[in-house]
Amino acid sequence: MKNCGIAELQDCRRGLGLQIGAAAVAAVLASAVLVAQARPQPGVKLTLDQLKAQMFHVSAGKRLKPKSWPNGARVAVGLSFDVDNASANLATGDLLSESISRGEYGAVDGVPRILRLLDKYQLPASFFIPAVSHLLHPQMIPSIMASGRHEIGVHGWIHEHLPSVNDAAAEQDMLNRAIDTLTKAIGKKPVGYRAPSWQFSQYTMAQVKNAGFLYDSSLMASDDAYEILLDGMPTGVVELPIERIVDDFPYYGGATNGGLPNQDLVEQVFRSEFDMAYDEGGLFILTMHPHITGHRSRIAGLEKLILHMKAKPGVWFATHEQIARYVKSL
């Protein structure tokens, strides 16, 4: 049954051939009114100071946009891959074979295909990995690290949704375990953090700061790098911003039924974002997932984008760590 708005209810009835009586229509209208009335509005009762505390608990500080990039480059490009695989499904208890096997695809075919493409053009990338993804598929990190070009960053323990955890001690424990697991896997402590689902709890930023991360890549307050403020105070942590516009998931979704499943159209969106970053002398961060972009047709779209970027002079392809260290040094 298609979705029908209240104003379209009569047309919907006729179009579907349904016999909906006046009482049913009245019930739908009453239900809609109740939903509208029940929508929480806690902010309307807060003072301006209270709103400021919420708005600027985690916020953008000093912008870190350089006048030029290394070797006079015009733009910095950070290709990133969130290696979620099935970890988010396991976290929520979604054990459907479709969900689990689709996630497994990221480890079986997605990561190897992505690495072959990056090797073809000798490009670096940053891979953000939930610790459980690594523990379930321990072959991934050695294959990622083999070229010596790529970086591994922390992406939670099991792709947990931190606002739902809502427990400082539990969140700290998972962060500690994730850091310890990936440190053991790569032989050094990761310097980058990306929150699972890009969602902070009220505790996350303080824990990221206290863990000594060089940078975070979970926030969206600018197109360019900036220093993160915590309750108005500088943290020393560099933010390399992400955006849903330059993320494969909104377009492709978990399957082929995303909002824009045509890889050529998705590549056009990404290309337009890159072209503007190039014109502005800025930063282009692209987020992808091996179980999504790792499919054949989608890799073809990514390769077209890479060829477009490489055709322009002055493009600096770098890991997130390299970008963060450069902007922080200025």
- The pLDDT value given to residue 18: 42
- The pLDDT value given to residue 39: 87
- Helix spans in the chain (H): 9-16, 22-38, 48-55, 87-92, 97-105, 111-121, 131-136, 140-145, 162-165, 168-186, 204-210, 249-252, 263-280, 290-293, 296-310, 320-329
- The pLDDT value given to residue 53: 98
**Is residue 240 scored above 80 in pLDDT?**
yes
For 3-49, the pLDDT digits (tens) are 444 344 344 444 444 444 566 556 655 665 565 568 899 999 999 99
The number of residues in the chain equals 330
Distance of CA 176 to the CA centre of its chain: 21
Give the pair of three-digit tokens for residue 4: 């029908």
**Is residue 125 scored above 60 in pLDDT?**
yes
Per-chain mean pLDDT for the chain: 92
219: phi then psi, degrees, rounded to nearest 5: -115, 170
- The pLDDT value given to residue 26: 60
Neighbours of 328 (CB within 10 A): 15
- The pLDDT value given to residue 258: 77
- The pLDDT value given to residue 260: 83
Choice between 13 and 56, residue whose per-residue pLDDT is larger: 56
**Is residue 86 scored above 90 in pLDDT?**
yes
- The pLDDT value given to residue 5: 45
For 210-224, the pLDDT digits (tens) are 999 999 999 999 999
Task: Determine the Cα–Cα distance for residues 150 and 124; give it in Å rounded to an integer.
Answer: 5
111: phi then psi, degrees, rounded to nearest 5: -60, -50
Task: Determine the Cα–Cα distance for residues 261 and 246; give it in Å rounded to an integer.
Answer: 14
What DSSP line would sit under 73-90, residue for residue?
BSEEEEEEEE--TTHHHH
Task: Determine the Cα–Cα distance for residues 262 and 267; give it in Å rounded to an integer.
Answer: 9
For 89-99, the pLDDT digits (tens) are 999 999 999 99
For 140-173, the pLDDT digits (tens) are 999 999 999 999 999 999 999 999 999 999 999 9
Task: Determine the Cα–Cα distance for residues 311 and 229; give it in Å rounded to an integer.
Answer: 37
Task: Determine the Cα–Cα distance for residues 280 and 39; give it in Å rounded to an integer.
Answer: 41
**Is residue 51 scored above 90 in pLDDT?**
yes
Q: Are strands 192-193 and 215-216 parallel, antiparallel or unpaired?
A: parallel
For 191-206, the pLDDT digits (tens) are 999 999 999 999 999 9
- The pLDDT value given to residue 329: 96
For 248-276, the pLDDT digits (tens) are 999 998 666 677 889 999 999 999 999 99
